Structure 1
Amino acid sequence: MNLKNWIFATRLYTLPLSIYGISLSFFLSTHSIMEMYKCLKTYVFSILTALSLQILANFSNDYGDSIKLIFHDNEMSMKKKFVYEGIISSKQMKKAIFILFILSFILGFILIYPILYENIIIFFTYLIGLIFCILSAIKYSCGNNPYGWKWGMGDLSVFLFFGIFSVLGSFFLYNRLVPSFQVILLSISMGFLNTAILNINNMRDLYEDSINRKETIVVRFGLNFAKWYHFVMILNAILLGFLFISMKNNIYQLFSLSIVSVLLIMHCRNIMLINNNKFLLHLELKKLVFLIFLYVLSIGMQNYL
């Protein structure tokens, strides 16, 4: 077994996306070193659970897409799929998926276990949610009818899991408070930003997805539509961020978010100018991953000032 191949198969550049929403709600839930320390255990196990779910989804995506590509038997230049190319065997990948299935459940159970002694109804709500997240990570690409291959469903799942559920679900775990309207705004904003990442990925893979009958929004409506769709999501994320700041009236947040917003608009301009160049789209994808990190810091870290 080559460890390097497994590391590549985790798609390291996607892993930060699973923890951005969790980190943002952590910043919003704490205002001092003492509060950070109090929430630290929950934060760590939230990250570990999210990372295990993300790797589970990435491995399942590699396995599920590889099976369908073999089934369609297309001769074309494909994005790297480790099972498809025989770098990792199907048996090995299925074993890894099973291990991550168990690991995700154990980490998630440890995360939510303290709620059992506080409110059994909320505990079972989170438990059902955990199982739903695990199954969703697998069913995105695996099985006879993966929802990630249906138009709009991949975008909706990323919006919900990496935005709404990530921010709001972890926010309650940190302080046992119902998320405020301000936090809800930021969860929607994070949903838009993370969905924009998927959109770039789908723009990059337009040719392969169309041949393999994977009905992404880009395949369904075309590249030009996808570019404007991308711009609207980024713009909405920026506006929601500024709306949040207007309620906080924090000059430091205003300044830092203004800088990040300019960089995001420049990113959108680049996307508009790229004409189906995979390499340039991939560069913009990685750039957006970093810009989301700056977005989280610009709003979250300034919460301590």
Structure 2
Amino acid sequence: MNDTATEISRRKAWLMAARPHTLPAAAAPVIVGVGFALHEGLFAPLPALAALVGAALIQVGTNFANDYYDAVKGVDTDERTGFTRVTQSGLISPSKVKQAMYGTFLLAIVVGVYLVYVGGLPILVIGLASVVSGIAYAGGPFPLGSNGLGDLFVFVFFGVIAVMGTFYVQAAQILAAPFSIGIPGGTVTMHAFLASLPVAAISTNILVVNNIRDLKNDRKAGKRTLAVLIGYRASRGEYVGMLALAYLVPVYFATTEAFGVGVLLPLLTIPYAAMVARTVLTKTSGEALNPALEQTGKLLAAYSVCFALGMVA
């Protein structure tokens, strides 16, 4: 193999490790947070852009952490039916993946310095908690993903906190002085929390599909995901329940005086959601659920764009 082919293979391996198909989970909460900020008249472009970059870095850093820790702990084996993991397969050495994990989280912290300047102490706490949790998802003495807490982690950090945090830094830029110690008025609202729930729900469903696909292998490896703990039937019920939550929120918003009927725009994605759900409810193989995993990510992206546009409209 010549040097050029080797370099291309190396780039492809790193792309596999970064898992770009998961980036909708990073972009979606920022899109919704920006849409809500526009609705409230509190849009601030620089904090929104920094939130997007920071969220993407935390997502990629978490992907590196999962790849590394699941390999060194023996969770990933040759029987795995999901996407190729570069550490377990030997494409990239464990030490290099670990270095990439820490380097990516360090970059996220650098971006976070600006957000802390804008949003103050609350953003410092949220940012550090996000980084620590990203590592603790698969690493540390009590890995969240291996002890039934992965779904809760995704719901909270990649949904609620990500959407509300995106809105918060924009609102703080306009309503508060730099580096405030407390929470400025108008930066944390009930509507912002409710707007975060659909993103939290569909982001969680990405993990649900992943864990249903890997249920048998995870059980053999001693990885106690929520799917392992509650089984196929309840996990599928979780998937449907999360979809129901996602589609009830815009319906509720449409009944309030603060939003118009445009907020119902996400309902246009229901047929696509139903198609993906049909696969999740009937299949267990990687051949069927790998596409469903990517499709759930696409659903998250489409829903979030529609939701943001609907709030602005």
Equivalence for 2:287:
279
Please give the alpha-carbon distance, in whole angstroms, between the structure 1 residues aligned to 2:219 and 2:52. Answer: 34
Please give the alpha-carbon distance, in whole angstroms, between the structure 2 residues aligned to 1:304 and 1:169. Answer: 19
Cα offset, 1:228, TM superposition: 1.3
Equivalence for 1:163:
159
Cα offset, 1:262, TM superposition: 3.3
2:26 to 12, 18, 21: 18
Equivalence for 2:216:
207
Cα offset, 1:145, TM superposition: 2.5
Equivalence for 1:3:
11
Cα offset, 1:169, TM superposition: 1.3
Deviations 1:16-60 (A, max 9, x none): 10121111010111159x965xx1111111111111111110001
Equivalence for 1:45:
50
Cα offset, 1:133, TM superposition: 1.0
- Range that drifts further, 262-271 or 123-132: 262-271
Equivalence for 1:187:
196
Equivalence for 1:120:
none
Cα offset, 1:64, TM superposition: 0.3
SS at match of 1:214: coil
Please give the alpha-carbon distance, in whole angstroms, between the structure 2 residues aligned to 1:97 and 1:81. Answer: 14
State TM-score, norm by structure 1. 0.88
In structure 1, what residue type is equivalent to 2:157? F
Equivalence for 2:3:
none
Gaps of 5+ in 1: 116-122
Identity %: 25
Gaps of 5+ in 2: 1-6, 173-185
- Range that drifts further, 295-304 or 164-173: 295-304
Equivalence for 1:119:
none
Matched ranges for 1:55-134 at <5 A = 55-69=60-74, 76-77=79-80, 79=82, 80-115=84-119, 123-134=120-131
User: How many positions carry a matched residue from both structures?
Assistant: 290
RMSD over equivalenced CA pairs, Å: 2.1
Structure 2 vs 1, CA of residues 249 and 73 (structure 1 numbering), >3 Å: closer, same or farther? closer
Structure 2 vs 1, CA of residues 126 and 279 (structure 1 numbering), >3 Å: closer, same or farther? same
State TM-score, norm by structure 2. 0.86
Please give the alpha-carbon distance, in whole angstroms, between the structure 1 residues aligned to 2:193 and 2:26. Answer: 18
1:220 paired to 2:216: no
SS at match of 1:141: coil
Cα offset, 1:77, TM superposition: 4.2
Please give the alpha-carbon distance, in whole angstroms, between the structure 1 residues aligned to 2:124 and 2:192. Answer: 23
Structure 2 vs 1, CA of residues 16 and 75 (structure 1 numbering), >3 Å: closer, same or farther? closer
